[in-house]
Chains A and B, each alone.
Chain A
């Protein structure tokens, strides 16, 4: 009878082992909804650097064991920060005007040439009396751009990484009417990339009839063994 009980126990654990993988899968993919699942990768970023710069960002490919990849969303964001200092050396009795127009762009490109661009622009107009300095005029612009791909996603699937070449450009133009003018434009730009995979998860396994039968059998055997032992 001890033998039988041991057998029943073994059968039970075997049945549980069979059922476990599905349980694990459902834990990893909490939303088993008709719309599918999403996986957001850790944010990649380039900190404030003087333009024009370029940097290759690498993000993980989609693990196909999770399901079927439907859509890749590349969200590019960044900011351009420009400080402007000006001095008007004209006669103090005069007043001049000046304006600073700043333009910047963040351009990201995938290996196949697909690009995503975020454009920045900002301007300010000021008046400045002769002999005066203006310091710390600061323009900050945040921009966002999304690239959504839903076909030909082969390049995003695998166990390796995807290269994303990010470039930041900036230009400024300063105009004014002072007869003697000094200016200093200082620009820094940063960029961030967030990649989101949308996919249909592997369907959650309902325990198969065979497994259920095994469990039933094990329970019956355990019950029988107990009855006999009495």
Chain B
């Protein structure tokens, strides 16, 4: 009795194994497409960026990732001009970007670059160097991202016309000192990069090569059949 139950269980296991492999074999391939565009941002940026939409003939869109990167770089030159006091001089550059998303809402990012210098009393030469002044290159960048997987959102990214997204931004400087007497020169430039990544599923076109059960599965199946046969033989004999 026990043996018969075992054999039945074995047969079920074999059937399940076969079903599972059949599912694995029908899995589609996941691919990604990346589109990127960069803009050299001015003091105040107010433009549009165009990015390709997802071509639905490639497969089924599963997810969209939008990455917005802001970079800022510049040169900060400061000189303490107080003849009576040493002090700390600081220069901060910042840039901010705002991208309008096709699903509504916005994606924002702020990049910062800063430097500071402990300056002596005025050294008599307004050259942004020496003990009272400095010249430094600074840079910084920041990235923010938004991802989408809800089908209603994904629909906004599918089509043949490009996405036309509003990109606005501005950049500025902040120069500080603790003596109230300072000579300043600052230059800066900023840049924006928008990247969209489409993750999609491509149906498997090649016929599954492993539709035939593997040798191990065959052996198990044979063992199960053998056991059933043996039971039948025993019963007959009994």
Contact of A170 among B42, B174, B179, B183 (CB under 8 A): B179
Whether B170 and A177, one on each chain, are in contact in the complex, defined by CB atoms closer than 8 angstroms, is: yes
Whether B184 and A177, one on each chain, are in contact in the complex, defined by CB atoms closer than 8 angstroms, is: no
Whether A50 and B181, one on each chain, are in contact in the complex, defined by CB atoms closer than 8 angstroms, is: yes
Whether A177 and B171, one on each chain, are in contact in the complex, defined by CB atoms closer than 8 angstroms, is: yes
A12 and B181 CA atoms in complex are apart in Å by: 72
Judged by a CB distance under 8 angstroms, whether B84 is at the interface is: yes
Chain B residues whose C-beta falls within 8 Å of the C-beta of A184 in the assembled complex: 81, 182-184
Bitwise interface map of B from 79 to 117 toward A, beta carbon under 8 Å scored 1, else 0: 001111101000000000000000000000000000000
Judged by a CB distance under 8 angstroms, whether A150 is at the interface is: no
Judged by a CB distance under 8 angstroms, whether B175 is at the interface is: yes
Known contacts: A52-B82, A52-B85, A173-B174. The answer to whether A179 contacts B180 by CB under 8 A is no
Contact of A102 among B42, B84, B171, B180 (CB under 8 A): B180
Whether B82 and A51, one on each chain, are in contact in the complex, defined by CB atoms closer than 8 angstroms, is: yes
What distance in Å separates the Cβ of A191 from its nearest Cβ neighbour in chain B? Answer: 14
Whether B44 and A50, one on each chain, are in contact in the complex, defined by CB atoms closer than 8 angstroms, is: no
A85 and B83 CA atoms in complex are apart in Å by: 19
Whether B187 and A50, one on each chain, are in contact in the complex, defined by CB atoms closer than 8 angstroms, is: no
Place the interface of chain B in its size category.
20 to 34
Place the interface of chain A in its size category.
20 to 34
Whether A172 and B180, one on each chain, are in contact in the complex, defined by CB atoms closer than 8 angstroms, is: yes
Contact of B184 among A53, A183, A187, A189 (CB under 8 A): A183
A185 and B180 CA atoms in complex are apart in Å by: 6
A142 and B82 CA atoms in complex are apart in Å by: 21
The residues in B between 155 and 181 inclusive whose CB is less than 8 angstroms from any CB of A are: 170-181
Chain B residues whose C-beta falls within 8 Å of the C-beta of A178 in the assembled complex: 43, 173
What distance in Å separates the Cβ of A99 from its nearest Cβ neighbour in chain B? Answer: 10
Judged by a CB distance under 8 angstroms, whether A219 is at the interface is: no
- For A184, the closest partner residue in chain B by CB is B183
Contact of B85 among A50, A90, A172 (CB under 8 A): A50
Whether A177 and B44, one on each chain, are in contact in the complex, defined by CB atoms closer than 8 angstroms, is: yes
The residues in A between 2 and 61 inclusive whose CB is less than 8 angstroms from any CB of B are: 49-53
Whether A180 and B187, one on each chain, are in contact in the complex, defined by CB atoms closer than 8 angstroms, is: yes
A46 and B56 CA atoms in complex are apart in Å by: 79
What distance in Å separates the Cβ of B117 from its nearest Cβ neighbour in chain A? Answer: 15
Chain B residues whose C-beta falls within 8 Å of the C-beta of A175 in the assembled complex: 172-175
- For A183, the closest partner residue in chain B by CB is B184
Known contacts: A173-B174, A179-B187, A181-B186. The answer to whether A51 contacts B85 by CB under 8 A is yes
Residues of B within 8 A of A (CB): 42-44, 81-85, 87, 170-189
Q: Name 21 A/B residue pairs within 8 A (Cβ), A-sorted.
A: A49-B84, A50-B82, A50-B83, A50-B84, A50-B179, A52-B179, A52-B180, A53-B84, A102-B180, A169-B178, A174-B175, A174-B184, A179-B43, A181-B185, A181-B186, A181-B187, A183-B184, A184-B182, A185-B81, A185-B177, A187-B180
Residues of A within 8 A of B (CB): 49-53, 80, 82, 90, 94, 96, 102, 104, 169-187, 189
